[in-house]
Amino acid sequence: MEVVLLMLITFFGYWLAYRTYGQFLARRVFRLHPDGDVPSVFRRDGVDFVPAAKEIIFGHHYTSIAGTGPIVGPAIGIIWGWIPALLWVFLGSIFMGAVHDFGALVLSMRSEGESISDVAARYVNRRVRYIFFLVIFLVLLIVIAIFGLVIAIIFGIFPQSVVPVWAEIPIALALGWFLYKRGGGLVAGTLGAVTAMYATVVLGHFLPVSMPEEVGGIPSTGVWTIILLAYAFVASTIPVDRLLQPRDYINAWQLFIAMGLLILGVLTSGLGGNLEMVAPAYNPAAGGAPPLWPFLFITIACGACSGFHSLISSGTSSKQISREPDALFVGYGSMMFEAVLATLVLIAVAAGIGIAYKTGDGSVLSGSTAWQEHYASWEASSGLGSKVDAVVIGSANMMEGIFIPKELGIVIIGVFIASFAATTLDSATRVQRYVVTELFRDVGIPQLTNRYLVTALAVLTAAGVAFSTGADGSGAMKLWPMFGAVNQLLAALALLVITLYLRHRGAGFKMLVAGLPCLIMLALTIWAVCLNEVRFIGEEKGLLSVINGAVLLLSLWMVAESVAVLFKKEPKGSAAT
């Protein structure tokens, strides 16, 4: 019963935050206006700048920012205890993550759809724009390079997900044609597409697809990585209303249904007395784990606050919003829904896993013994497979409470994890194209702004990293240990730019809605980056220590430049611009 109450109270909190704090930000801080000019209209080009209904953009934005982040992060962050993990998700999402996402979206909309790095040039200076670009390029490079491997691993764990994930492409193309060419209704299109999608889920259950261990001497993960990067190239160059918008919209509905099943599972299992918290409430000395402060706050990023979100807000979403007020629903609302997902994941790994857990020798454990078996130490619970397993096992256990067979529940969860990862891959590739194009345009090399050329550059650089250590496509794993801290540092820098924007607009003390989260995120992430630097040097990881140290120095430089602007007296009347 306590799990049910916990879920209901947190969900009510997210709804209340949207209705109060979100509305305050929209009306009193950012002052959204229904007649405000939006770049999707005045820069409409039929490829990247395409206005769409807020429901469709919500689906795109939500699935792009979510990815595997709110699944993997909470699944490992639970090792420090469910109370600190849940508090960070709850408070972080409301007062930091949603402000960050919403603010970056508004800034980009009011800056002709430019990325957050170009916006930084407007409110700080051009030097900061180049510093920010380097940090963003690195984050996106790692995301693109690693997510091909991530999806390949997920396909290996859940071969039943292969058919449904690839079937989403023709279903999405058909939905885009129905909505934009035939002028069909959104409700009818949604019903048809979602029904077709779940038919492929059932089909995938009976037709699992496994890649051979090697194809032409290339391991299966390498083959999948090549295929997925080729797909990302195509998906990131065609008009957004043909594939990106309808596919992400379908994925969003897929997640809503899966979340609905999980909520019913929590209610049924919890009220039936079969669900209780088996994870420790507070576990700061987890075996082999780094210290809770500051690493909890970089381990759980998506679901609380993540710098990658600012790249989607100022990359794809800002170019498709059709009315300024829609930004509240898309920016702040998506973050609240992501927090809902992160909360359900925490419940799955803190309580659901305790219903039944099958060990390697075939015995079945339950209760706290089951949790301890999986989370015996940091090393035991590390790795993508282990984190995903914890979520899938806990979720499937809870779904059994509503008479969904465990095998089918595993397929449902596996498909939406793989689908979300694929969404993140091609959205990140498209955003990388945007930021590199802006750079070439800014330095006066228009010949290098062709979308096919720049997308090829984004894909090939990621492929170079992915295959830098061999044919299995795992090269990006060398950079992965620094990603969490650098991603959160990006969130702090984005909040800094939002603060400067609000100050420039004459927001007065209201700029603290971004300023205070910025200070907290800067302190936590610089702390984490410094600790990582010490560890990398101690472990003689030269590449990581050089890149991590360079990012730290560049970020401190950007902070110094921004603080100088923050305390510089604004010219009279500038707030009105």
SS3 357: strand
Residue 345 has what pLDDT?
95
Q: How far apart are CA 201 and CA 574, in angstroms?
A: 55
* Nearest CA-CA partner of 153 in 429, 388, 489: 388
Angle at 422 between CA 450 and CA 498, to 5 degrees: 65
Which residues lie below 8 Å from residue 372, measured CB to CB, with a gap of 6+?
none
Residue count (the chain): 577
Q: Tokens at residue 84, please?
A: 């600190």
CA 572 to each of CA 110, 420, 505, 510, 576: distance values in angstroms, whole numbers, following the listed order: 21, 47, 12, 19, 9
Q: How far apart are CA 113 and CA 104, in angstroms?
A: 10
CA 282 to each of CA 79, 111, 289, 341: distance values in angstroms, whole numbers, following the listed order: 9, 44, 14, 21
Q: Tokens at residue 465, please?
A: 């990293």
Q: How far apart are CA 65 and CA 306, in angstroms?
A: 9
Torsion sign across C-alpha atoms 198, 202, 205, 208:
negative
Q: What is the DSSP string of 534-558?
A: HHHHHTT-HHHHHHHHHHHHHHHHH
Rg (the chain; Cα; Å): 22
Helix axes 2-17, 333-350, angle to 10 degrees: 170
Residue 265 has what pLDDT?
93
Domain residue ranges of the chain, discontinuous segments joined by +: 2-209+272-570
Which residue ranges in the chain fall short of pLDDT 70? 380-385, 569-577
Q: H-type helices in 314-363, by residue range?
A: 326-327, 333-350
* Nearest CA-CA partner of 426 in 183, 158, 232, 138: 232
Which residues lie below 8 Å from residue 524, measured CB to CB, with a gap of 6+?
293, 294, 297, 298, 488
- Count of Cβ atoms closer than 10 Å to residue 407 Cβ: 10
CA 293 to each of CA 339, 525, 560: distance values in angstroms, whole numbers, following the listed order: 21, 10, 25
Q: How far apart are CA 341 and CA 346, in angstroms?
A: 9
Residue 450 has what pLDDT?
93
* Nearest CA-CA partner of 494 in 524, 512, 517: 517
Q: How far apart are CA 248 and CA 312, in angstroms?
A: 13
Helices and strands (DSSP H and E) totals, the chain: 24, 4
The residue behind tokens 């219903």 is 355
Residue 379 has what pLDDT?
75
Residue 571 has what pLDDT?
52
Residue 572 has what pLDDT?
47
Q: In CATH, which of 1.10.287, 1.10.10, 1.10.510, 1.20.1740 is domain 2-209+272-570?
A: 1.20.1740
- Count of Cβ atoms closer than 10 Å to residue 400 Cβ: 20
Phi/psi for 252 (5° steps) reads: -65, -45
Q: How far apart are CA 71 and CA 254, in angstroms?
A: 15
Residue 452 has what pLDDT?
95
Residue 78 has what pLDDT?
93
CA 438 to each of CA 238, 442, 462: distance values in angstroms, whole numbers, following the listed order: 19, 6, 19
pTM of the entire structure? 0.94
Which residues lie below 8 Å from residue 107, measured CB to CB, with a gap of 6+?
116, 119, 314, 497, 498, 501
